[in-house]
Structure 1
Amino acid sequence: MNKLCQLLKIENEDLLFQQITSTFKDKGITLWDYFVNWEKVHKNIKPIEKELNLLNVLIGKENIEKEVYDLIKEYPQVIKAFPFLIAFRSTSVSILIDETNFVYKDYDFKHRFMTDDDCKDLTLFFMQSGLGSLMQDKKVKNLVDYVTGVEVGLDSNGRKNRGGTLMENIVEKFVSQACTELGLEYMAQANAKKIKEHWNIDIVVDKSSRNLDFAIHKNGKLYFIECNFYGGGGSKLKSTATEYVNMNAYWNAQDITFIWVTDGAGWKSTLKPLREYFDKADYLLNLEILKNNGLETILK
């Protein structure tokens, strides 16, 4: 009988698997900090806030090109803000200015001594990139507010990464709770080097870059935990289940207990590979089982 069945005192494997799959979190695990990393947004703006306020004087100016040139000439540091105004992360760029002869023009936005030619070149960049008309036509009222919006938009690209860590953050609360209750140590993003340094235990990894979401140490015994959440289906779920079947066998061969914590409505259309893992491994958990002290039960 499956070890988890015995520990949870469930009659058979079919009932346990049904319990796991019927309690997946259909509504997801979105937390408030998923939407925008405001700390990062404000941190990105702070170093150029003065430059943005200097550039504010350009808003609504008629002879915008001359005004831009004069501003760059007097306050060359304003060029640091140019990439932020166009949602560009680099401090330099090469523009193809002749697409038939492949002639390029290089632009550098780092603060430095500016020649008249440099000022002309960067004024041209400002105008050609559309920033000139943006300012002249008063399409923005304040560049600090405008760049805040730009940064929020750019930060939305980080939601995929934040979504990937949501499950880890939630699972860590249960791991921390269980280890505190039982007087055990754990580490997040564990690897062979950290395990050797902290617990003086040697493990053989299948690849040098291998990091475990969590490792728990109990009297010389290791427990490895991997966790993920799938709100939608797809081929990734099948490959993950197959990978974890192999991972379970690999760690078990080193007398390491492997625990897979997974959840999400995506599994409901891909139950076969999940069942294959369940039948070949000892511990498949979801968030509901964690909530009901399933991890503590295993570690005891």
Structure 2
Amino acid sequence: MEKKNFTEWLSNFRNSISDYKYYINFEKIYDNVDKIKVELNILNSLIGSKDIENEFIKLIKNYPEIIKCIPILLAVRLNEIYCQDDNGGFLYKFNVLQQNVEEKTMDYDNYVYFMKETGLFDLLENHIVNNLIDYVTGVETGLDSNGRKNRGGHLMENLVENYIKRAGFRKNENYFKEMYISEISSKWNIDLSNISNKGKMEKRFDFVLKTSSMIYAIETNFYSGGGSKLNETARSYKTLAVESQDIDGFTFVWITDGKGWFSAKNNLEETFDIMENIYNIKELEDGIINEVFR
């Protein structure tokens, strides 16, 4: 195969690979809200209350399960919250309040204090919100946006896997996800000590493809932004490529993309120059898997 030109290869890198589900997972949001819908409707009775402290105590006496909704009103996914001020500190437990209030009546006052000092009573009694289900849906939407980093990490893997499937490979038959070096060695009786530091390092590859004559170990990533991690990645994959060159029946493959590489292109070019099996998304689209993975 003719040697690729690095500048031309890099020019095809993409700004983004975000799909329509990347930004917000509404299905997850609706499911989280639905799990506490009844309790939120009970708490709705406090909206506009003229005697909110006493009414809150009555509610938690009669419906102690409503206490589990309190953390999400503060955009917190915890069952316990510690707070302190000039009056001292207190660990509020939102999953075992029923037992607490039966044994210690002072807990009522502590939870009233919590609601007051965090501003939740003000939120409710002054009609700042009109419906807690709508409010929590908004909170969950904000919290879910924090999950974009995790979703983004899987976007490139999912994209590459689609092309692997299109090339005719079948999962758990001749392609495998997230395989460790030791698993590869054991499954196909191949010596990978060159890349495992004599068995002391246990690396996991994103995909492993097995053909009649070759094992392809694949790493995938996409970088939309720069950072020191890109230089570290390029250097480590360069080392891996060099260490694996003399292993018969084994090929290390790197599929990467993203304009974040523009800020680390010198390190990427060093790896590109010594690595034959390095590809981008455009090459996937052009059928590189069918062409090379045989």
Structure 2 residue aligned with 1:231: 224
Q: Structure 2 matches for 1:37-56, cutoff 5 A?
A: 37-56=25-44
- Aligned residue type for 1:264: G
Structure 1 residue aligned with 2:291: 297
CA distance in 2, matches of 1:218, 1:235: 36
Structure 2 residue aligned with 1:216: 209
List per-residue Cα deviations over 1:239-277 (Å, max 9, x = no partner): 211110011123334332011111112223432212211
Q: Structure 2 matches for 1:1-300, cutoff 5 A?
A: 6=1, 10=2, 13=3, 15-25=4-14, 27-98=15-86, 103-111=88-96, 112-113=98-99, 114-115=101-102, 116-180=105-169, 185-192=174-181, 194-195=183-184, 203-204=192-193, 205-206=196-197, 210-219=203-212, 221-255=214-248, 256-300=250-294
3-state DSSP class of the match of 1:266?
helix
Moved over 4 A (4+): 196-204, 206-209
CA distance in 1, matches of 2:289, 2:5: 15
Unpaired stretches in structure 1, ≥5 consecutive residues: 1-5
TM-score between both structures, scaled by the size of structure 2: 0.88
- Relative to structure 1, the CA distance from residue 196 to residue 259 in structure 2 (aligned partners, 3 Å threshold; closer, same or farther) is closer
TM-score between both structures, scaled by the size of structure 1: 0.86
Number of residue pairs aligned between Structure 1 and Structure 2: 284
Tell me whether 154-163 or 263-272 shows the greater mean CA deviation. Answer: 263-272
Q: Identity over aligned residues, as a percent?
A: 38
3-state DSSP class of the match of 1:33?
coil
CA distance in 2, matches of 1:46, 1:196: 47
- Aligned residue type for 2:282: E
Q: CA deviation at 1:71?
A: 0.9
Q: CA deviation at 1:41?
A: 1.8
Contact 1:178-1:296 within 8 A present in 2 as well: yes
Tell me whether 137-146 or 206-215 shows the greater mean CA deviation. Answer: 206-215
CA distance in 1, matches of 2:174, 2:286: 21
Q: Which has the higher helix share?
A: 1
* Larger RCO: 1 or 2 (CA < 8 Å, sep 6+): 1
CA distance in 1, matches of 2:79, 2:120: 17
- Relative to structure 1, the CA distance from residue 76 to residue 263 in structure 2 (aligned partners, 3 Å threshold; closer, same or farther) is same
CA distance in 1, matches of 2:32, 2:190: 41
- Aligned residue type for 1:167: M
Q: CA deviation at 1:194?
A: 4.4
Contact 1:214-1:224 within 8 A present in 2 as well: yes
* RMSD of aligned alpha carbons: 2.3
- Relative to structure 1, the CA distance from residue 297 to residue 184 in structure 2 (aligned partners, 3 Å threshold; closer, same or farther) is farther
